[in-house]
Amino acid sequence: MEYEYIMKKIYYISLIILLLVFVTQGWAADKIALALKARGDTGLKRADEENYKVGIKPGTSLFDQDHIRTGEDGYAVLVFLDDKSQIKIRENSEMTVSGTRTTESISKQIAMQVGTLKAEVSPQRKGEFIIATPTSVASVKGTVFWVMSDPVMGDVFYGMSGSIEVTNNESGAVVTIGANETGTSTPDGQLTVETTQQGAAPEDEDDDGTSNILRIQLQNPQGDIKELKIEY
């Protein structure tokens, strides 16, 4: 146990160094997020690239229209730079991360082709937060929820806290999904909400009851400084 604890601390110290190298150079107008964690089979493709680069590294900057995918053992956590909202991407997932920046906020859209993710959206959310799948569009406020998306079977949303508004693309039906509720959206237009059954929602592999706080100072080319505090 002591060895695992030491190795975990070494990992996060290395992560802090990487983040400082990547971030303190300034918050570029098109930089929207950072990879906070990554392991297993992961890939990143920039908007202007044709092929995926294997292996997302902690500290990697994310830009508008970046494509991310994970394999059978892949996992990645992204944190947005404006309000520290996070998405945790599980195995066998593929999505495009988009963001439109203003002076103080980023309007975020996650276009999921397939897979599973957990969204932890800051209560102090800045800019809209949208998750779009082939079946549904979810508009998010300060909330925590899971979404499991399959282009053939449809989507399942598990509300953990707060609420999300889900629209079915086929029928236009709209529902609000709250804490301890499960929303199911299908390609044929059906959209239902029910109480979440015990053990139905995916488990968060990182939720071990402990948390750490990472503070990073950012300076832009004009010399303005702000502090980014990330809890992980």
Q: Which residue has the higher pLDDT, 27 or 114?
A: 114
Give domain status of residue 55, yes or no. Answer: yes
| The token pair that represents 20 in the structure block | 């400082």
Residue 6 lies in a domain: yes
- The residue written with tokens 């102090």 in the block is 124
Q: pTM above 0.85?
A: no
- 193 within domain boundaries: no
Residue 169 CB neighbours (<10 A): 16
Residue 41 lies in a domain: yes
Summarised one tens digit per residue, pLDDT across range 185-194 is: 999 999 999 9
Indicate whether 158 belongs to any domain. no
Residue 174 falls inside a structural domain:
no
For the record, the structure tokens of 162 come out as 């707060």
Number of domains in the chain: 1
Q: Which of 208, 204, 141 minimizes the C-alpha distance to 177? A: 141
- The parent domain of residue 41 ranges over 2-132+202-231
Give per-residue pLDDT as tens, 50-68.
999 999 999 899 999 999 9
147 located within any domain: no
